[in-house]
Amino acid sequence: MEQPFRLTSEVRDNCLVITTAGYVNNVGGEAIAAEFNRHFEKGIRHVVINLGQSRVVNSVGMSFLIEIIERLEESGGKLVFSDLDPAVEKMLSIMGLFQYAGKQKTVADALVSLAGAGKADG
């Protein structure tokens, strides 16, 4: 059975890294958005979401991530997904999320890509 949803977060190099485990349903999606909002209010504009330990997600949970993309778009920020299960990656691709967010194999790669984006920003 898929494990219950869990979330951890840390700030590395001024980037918020959110790591989830277990099923990302509406409750999980809302928790991710709440964690993001908490850091966004403090000025964080670069975010990595590591879904590597969430092999099951649903579109209701993922729809909360559109809110994150929206706020980052408005503020010149950037979201990068990492460690995606191929099926989850396909789902996010169908939803069009990669038109607005990046994807990288690992959190380390995502942080490197965001560091580059930060330099490009100014």
58 near another protein, rule: CB under 8 A: yes
Is the C-alpha dihedral spanning 79, 63, 94, 108 positive or negative? positive
CB 121 within 8 A of CB 85: no
Q: How far is the CB of 84 from another protein (least distance, A)?
A: 11
Residues 69 and 16: their CA atoms lie apart, in Å, by 14
Nearer to another protein, 23 or 81 (CB): 23
Name the one range near another protein by CB under 8 A: 7-15, 37-45, 53-61, 105-113: 53-61
The CB-of-5 to another protein minimum distance in angstroms stands at: 9
Measured from the CB atom, the residue of 44 and 91 that comes closer to another protein is 91
Query: Does residue 7 touch another protein according to CB under 8 A?
Result: no
Interface map 74-103 toward another protein (x if CB under 8 A): -----------xxxx-xx--xxxx-xx---
**Cα(55)–Cα(40) distance, rounded to whole angstroms?**
26
Binding stretches for another protein (CB under 8 A): 1-2, 23, 25, 55-60, 62-64, 66-67, 69-70, 73, 85-88, 90-91, 94-97, 99-100
